[in-house]
Structure 1
Amino acid sequence: MTYLDYQATTPLAPEALAAMLPWLESQHANPHSPHREGRRAKAAVEVARDQVAALFPPGGRVAFTSGATEALNWAIKGTTGPIVTLATEHAAVLDTVAAEAAKRRQVTILPVNPDGVVDLDEARAVIPPGTGLVAAMLVNNEIGVIQPIAALAEIAHAAGALILCDAVQGYGRVPVPDTVDLIAISAHKIHGPKGIGALWIRDGIDLAPLMHGGGQEAPGRSGTLSPALCAGFGVAAQLMADRKDQDAAHIDRLWSLSLDRLGPGWTINGSTEHRYHGNFNVRRANLDVNRLMSDLRDIAFSAGSACASGSGRSSHVLRAIGLTEAQARASIRLGFGRYTTETELRDAIDAIVAAAEAQWP
């Protein structure tokens, strides 16, 4: 099996697994307990917290969550005032702001240009004084487009608003501007375990709790933390820092290889200039993607966002950049990264091209 679905999830790093195993096998104490073993577990959690925080701006605190979806929900529901967000955001943002709109909170959905990048003049026009929160994704999970988060932060702050950055796809890969106020991330997108994420909260910002209970996490998040998940997350974050240049160079080589092997007849969806190169979202006219995936069962790739799988809907991101329904449904996403070899990617793309061409004998 050739795995090319890194935007959906990444392979667990062996080092992250090794860090988790002791806490799964023999060290089972509750990190919120005051006895010696509890304090040992808490120490492991705090080491992981520092490792995760090292890739964030200074002047904030990291609260562990069950994942980025919880972090985004907490950031949005824990703030007040009108919300402005982008049409290409993840469902965890769009569905949450829709739920807030149902409670009569004012919501504005900002369109993007055909390349997937927001128009900053339009952003200024719809982020007036009195806005409470601006939510924008650093790297789009479907088309890899990088948004001008620093400029959006400047506009948000001029209006007196906080800015929330969904950095799930960009954390450790694309720098997060120091001027953001809230950042959501997920461990399993950086070769860590599933079931844990984090919300970074700038000092001085207080959020209303999303869940009530013991308040174990200082910013107000309740629930018992898993030392195993925290340890795996921490090591994965440390690896992102240690291997940043090596990983980036490898991904750039894979991107160039993809462009060389694809051949004519294919179009890249989204900006190629403002883009993370580990995301290769392309379309071909009249391509039957369901047939393509059936013919290539030994290659794991995506026909769209993993979060919309089985919904029957075409990608809202592809529609937001102006693609027709037919174009959106004729698109595929290849995601690659640290553990993808050049040989397996070349062979996979050759197989995809051949299978696509076989649809028009």
Structure 2
Amino acid sequence: MGGTAVVVGGGIGGLAAALGLRRIGWEVRVVERAAVPADAGAGISLHANGLRALDAVGVGTAARAAARPQYTGGTRTPAGRWLSRMDGTLLERELGAPIVGIPRAVLHGLLRAALPAECLLVGATVHTLDLSAPDRVGVPVGDDVLEADLVVAADGVHSRLRGLLFPDHPGPVYAGSTVLRAITEDPFEVPTDFELTWGAGAEFGHILFTDGRAEWHAVLNAPPGVRHSDPIGVLRDRFRDWHDQIPALLAATRPEAVLHHDIHELVTPLPAFTAGRVALLGDAAHAMTPHLGQGACQALEDAATLAAALAAEPSVDAALVRYDTERRPRAQSVARAARRAGRVGQQLSHPLAVALRNTGLRLAPSRVTTRAILRHADWTPPSLLEQG
């Protein structure tokens, strides 16, 4: 079954969806409101499920070559004491792939480069959809209307299309935390591939890239909408008593490189990931907190699953039923788990609760941490090539 699709949103999930659809023989246009490629961002970690989804849409090999495996690291206290260690070698043995770190801009560039240039329509905003026909969707773009058998709504956490399709849904809410992140200007000497440091109502973490630079992030309990004229100075003050690696990472960063975003999530789950001939994908469908590092991985799972369903089923309608059935329970379960992880991790602020959490982490066998990662990362995509 072939067809025509319009993907609204040119982020990681939207581009992966376009690649998956093209791989099964569909004609695809990606409509992105930004006039220039969305290469802003710091870094992300990809678990085995995200890498397998990238394999399914055809860019897994390139992504692995550009990413740095995370074999060493774990979670520490502000004083630098280890609470738990990560065994990346064990994860690789269990899943066939370690967790990897990659600059968001690099991954986005790989996805974009795998699409023909004529597939991308940038600097255009989709405000509405024409849903009057049962088997076609009209997508007004400027003075033109793109006709499609399927629209993929991949327009992010504040999705305009989600609001159009589910007008009674309350939409995203502030999760109680804000995140500042950046990449160091030059290679940075640090002994671990990945670390988190947990304090009271705050987390500081880093991942390393293949070029030796480090991405760091600081997640803080804070009111929404607060911004700082000197974010590096604010973070130096906030983390002044934390172990030496943290101020060193801040000192290695250009102030203008710091990005600051409030974290929003869909606390109220959507009743469906589809509406008519529209499929919601990524943050538009299941925006979650970053506390499991699964946001991008779940969007990539969406992309691979949608393409596989369209390749396997006899009609678009049947494929969308299958997509919703396969993706909604899993993605919403991961979102709930991420919320819980934040509440017992970064967001925990009462001194007694923090002390109890730290004691529990120190006493827990390493296999407990490994099992927690495996629970979400152990996912295998349907095969597009066998079904297409």
TM-score (structure 2 length as normaliser): 0.22
- Normalized per residue, which structure has more strand? 2
TM-score (structure 1 length as normaliser): 0.23
